Chains A and B, each alone.
Chain A
Amino acid sequence: MMLEVNQFRKKYNQHLVLEISELRISEGIHWFVGKNGSGKSTFFKSLAGIIPFEGSLLFQNMSPHDQKCKFLVNYSEAEPKYPDFVTAKDILTFIAYAKKAPSGQLADLVSHFGVVDYWENNIGTYSSGMLKKVSLVSGFLGRPQLIILDEPFILVDATSIDKLYEIVARTQAEHGTSFFLSSHQDLLPEKLKIDSVFIVDNKTIVKQ
Chain B
Amino acid sequence: MRAVFIIFQRAIVWDYYRKNVLFLLVIVLFAFGFLSGQEHQTIVKQALNSPKLLVYTGFLWLLHGVKTYLFILRSLGQPEFRFLFHLRLLNLWQRLVLWGYVSFMLSQLTFLYAIFMVVIGFILGKLMSVVFILSSQLFVMFLGVFIYERRIRQTPEAKAIFSFSFPQFFKFRLPAVLFYHKYLLYKEPILLLLTKFFSIFSVLFMVWLFPTDEYDHRLFSIAAVIIAVSHLRICSQYVYFHNSHLAVFNNLPLGFWYKSIMLVIGYFILLLPEIYLFMVRAQPLVSLSYAFAWLIFVISLVVFIHGFQYLQTLSDDSKMQYFFFGFVFVLLLVMYKVPLFLLSSFFFLCGFGLLKKLENDYEPVQ
Contacts and interface: CB of A to CB of B under 8 A. Distances in A.
Contacts of A70: 251-253
A52 B248 contact: no
From A51, A73, A120, name the one whose CB has the most chain B CB atoms within 10 angstroms.
Answer: A51
A185 B362 CA distance: 32
A145 to B, nearest CB: 13
A98 B173 contact: no
A86 B248 contact: no
Contacts, number: 73
B8 interface: no
Contact of B253 (A83, A93, A99, A120): A99
- Contact-residue bracket for chain A: 20 to 34
A71 B187 CA distance: 32
B247 A75 contact: no
Contacts of A74: 251
Interface in B153-167: none
A22 to B, nearest CB: 24
B360 A65 contact: yes
B246 interface: yes
A56 B314 CA distance: 26
A68 interface: yes
A85 B183 contact: yes
A52 B363 contact: yes
Contacts of A138: 248
A74 B174 CA distance: 23
Interface of A: 12-13, 48-52, 65, 67-71, 73-75, 77, 80-83, 85-87, 89-90, 93-95, 98-99, 120, 135, 138
Given A70-B252, A93-B173, 18 more contacts: A49-B360, A50-B250, A50-B251, A51-B250, A52-B363, A67-B253, A67-B254, A68-B253, A75-B251, A81-B245, A82-B246, A83-B179, A83-B182, A86-B174, A98-B254, A99-B252, A99-B253, A138-B248
